[in-house]
Structures are given as C-alpha cells and as structure tokens.
Amino acid sequence: MTDTASAVIIGGGIVGASIAHYLALKGQKDIVLLEKDTIASGATGSSGALVRMHYTNPWDTALALKSLEVFETWGDLIGDDSGFRKTGFVAVADSANAYRLRNNVEMQRGVGVNAHVISPEDLKELQPFANVDDIGAVAYEPDSGYADGYSAATSMARRARELGVEIKQGVTVSDIKRDAYKVVGLRTSEGDIDTPVVILVAGAWSAKLAASAGVDLPVGAQRLTAGMVERPESVQDSHMVFIDHAVGQYFRPDVGKLTLLGIRPGPSVDSHVDPDAYDGTVALAWQARALAQLAHRVPAMVDAGWRRSWAQVDGYTPDGHMVLGGAPTVEGLYIAAGMSGSGFKTGPAVGMCMAELVLEGESRTVDIEPFRLTRFDENDPIAGPNDYEIPEFVVPSMPP
C-alpha cells in the first residue's frame, strides 16, 4: 500500500465510494479509499435503499433530488447497474399529520420534485390492496423507487478505481494524525499514510476516529433492524414503495414475490451500542410488530411469511441529520458522517458536494452549509417546520 496520498477517504459505503468517484472525475490524483471490511459491508449493504425525495426540509430534499438524477442515468454515468427500479413512492399520514404532509409536498415541489398530494381514494385506485381508513393525506412521487445498496456502492467503487483511485479493503484506520491544526496523515493496520486531506466517512465508527484528531463529533451508533417477507398468494403483484407515517414503518418490493420492511427509528445517539460488538439477532417481538404494522396497511399481508431479518448499525446525530463539511478546528479534515439513515438515497449528491468542497472550497451542487458540524454548538439543529408526529402503534393481541 502506498505511504503517501493527496487525499484519503475512510469508509467504503455508498458515500465514501461516491466521494472517491467525484474527486477522481474532477481530476484529483493519488486518492486512496480505505475500508476496514469490504465495500458496502456496513449500513449501505443492509440498507432498504429507498430512492425518494420526501423530507421535511429543503436541503435533504435537494440532495435526494440530485441523487435521483444519478440513479436514473446510472448506466451511462457510472456503468453496471445500481438496481434502481422506478416503482413509484407514497408517504401516507394520518389526519393529524395531513397538513404537515401537504406543507412538505409544497416545499418539495418548490425544490423541483415531481411530487403531488393525492387523496386516500386516489391511493386506493393506485394500490387496491391498501387499507386507507386511517389515512388523512398521501404524498405521491411517480419517479421514485428503490435500488440495491451493494450493487450501487460496488459499481461506484469500480468506476472510481477505473478513474485511478486506489481502493484497499481489509485495512483498519486507528488514528488520524495532525500537526498543530493540520492533518498530516493517518495510522492504519498496514502502516502510516502521509496525506494533507482526510475525508471521514466511517459511519458508526466516525466519532472515535474524529476524536483521535481532537474533534468532538456527536455521532453515535444506532442499531437498525429490517427484514424480508414473502407475499401471500392474494398479494402476488408488486407494489410501490411506502413510508407509513401513520404507524412508523417503511416497506418496498424486492425481487420476485418479496417485500422488504423496517420500522422507523427516531434520532438518537446511543453510546451503549458498540458498532464492533452489537447484538445482531432480531427479536421475535420485532418481527411481530413489523408484520402487524405491514398488515395494518396491507391487510392481506397478515399471511406473509418471514424469509429473513437482520440488524446493522448506522451513525446517528442528535437531530437525526448528517454532518457534512470541514472540521472547523483541523485543516484538511473533512467529514461526511452521521447519515442517520439517509446516506444511500443522498449518497451520489453528497459525493459531488464533498468533492467540490475539497477541491474548490465550497459546494455548488447543493447548499450543505446547514449540515455543518458547528450547528450543534450554535444550538441550530436541523428541524423541518412540518416534522411528523408518529402516533403510537398498538400491536393487536393474538387470538387464543
């Protein structure tokens, strides 16, 4: 492995691969990407991989919209296949949150998203199997869908390698080295690398590495759980991607007759979750709750059969939004961490923005200033004026 580089990226998920790709595309030479395991082995490979623009603030929305352009033209821009499937997307909300949803769609349309508010009756026309009794409003994005986390990250990394990036897997970074207020390199399991630029994209492991450079990064590991069920005979047709704000769940189709689902986590920084030693098992209670929520929205899914379930960790910030930008106290240290569950769908655009920031001093593709690290010290967290209030979902009791 080389002992010098113009820039080193730590982390081989979709965001790290995207940054490497766009840096190289802009002409940067001698880039090294280090991944402690394999490309997409962390949160990216376990992601639901939704591709949608429905957010409650314009900045995440803009990142997701720019990323959609990449997913739609992936073969021409990147090559291979990201697994993107344009199924359409709906976000549903109960009556108490209906006005929030309408306001959010108005904001999204202002950013340029092809989004529309439709009625529960309209949703029933689009998805006849859906229960709409408790729905107050629906946001519909016909251009959205889902992709495959592993395929997208590995093809982005392959393209970066073709552009000259050195990608090293199975290499662990232990420390980021600095001299006074500047980055000078890092220490790895295969030796030191001297570099003036380090881009920290290590997910749930980011805070520990930032601390080695004297930077307090409020990113904690949060355990996320998802699973896959096989649709019963009565629901053989595929369906759109759903985010169900009425119960706190997302679900989307997968290959064949499968549906992937997960329960919406809330923002938190749980220092008790060790990303190197977390519980990877999935409790039966989680499966029962997840399937009950799914069957609430699609009643025929009560007969769905579990194929598998899994747990992974992602980096979360206190306000549930990513950190993007330069470290204010360490020249040459850049951070794209704490993606808080939004790393995949915004990954291509984050790569563009971070490459612009590193090489040109500012991001032009999307304004990433709201995602700055200093917002926490400034008491200026990211919060949409129409964030949803998810009601408590009571799991129905099973008959004796």
Are 341 and 314 contacting, i.e. CB atoms less than 8 angstroms apart?
yes
Question: How far is Cα 117 from Cα 102, in angstroms, rounded to an integer?
Answer: 6
Tens of pLDDT along 105-115?
A: 999 999 999 99
Tens of pLDDT along 2-20?
A: 799 999 999 999 999 999 9
Question: How far is Cα 210 from Cα 330, in angstroms, rounded to an integer?
Answer: 10
Question: How far is Cα 202 from Cα 43, in angstroms, rounded to an integer?
Answer: 10
Residue 352 C-beta-side C-alpha neighbours within 13 Å: 16
pLDDT value of residue 392 = 82
Domains of the chain in start order, with CATH, are: 7-46+150-219+319-375 (3.50.50.60), 85-145+220-313 (3.30.9.10)
Give Rg (Cα) of the chain. 21
Q: Which residues of 98-122 are buried (b: 16+ CB within 10 A; e: fewer)?
A: bebbbebbebbeebebebebeebee
Question: Given the structure tokens 């794209």, which residue do they identify?
Answer: 336
Q: Which residues of the chain have pLDDT under 70?
A: 265-272, 397-400
Question: How far is Cα 387 from Cα 385, in angstroms, rounded to an integer?
Answer: 6
pLDDT value of residue 235 = 83
Helical ranges in the chain per DSSP H = 14-25, 58-72, 74-77, 98-111, 120-126, 149-162, 206-212, 284-297, 343-360
Long-range contacts of 187-193 (CB under 8 A, 24+ apart): 188/1, 188/34, 190/1, 191/1, 191/3, 192/3, 193/1, 193/2, 193/3, 193/4, 193/5, 193/8, 193/32
Q: Which amino acid is at 139?
A: A
DSSP 21-72: HHHHHTT--SEEEEESS-TT-STTTTS--EE----SSHHHHHHHHHHHHHHH
With a threshold of 0.85, does the pTM exceed it?
yes
Question: What distance separates the 2 farthest-apart alpha carbons in the chain?
Answer: 68
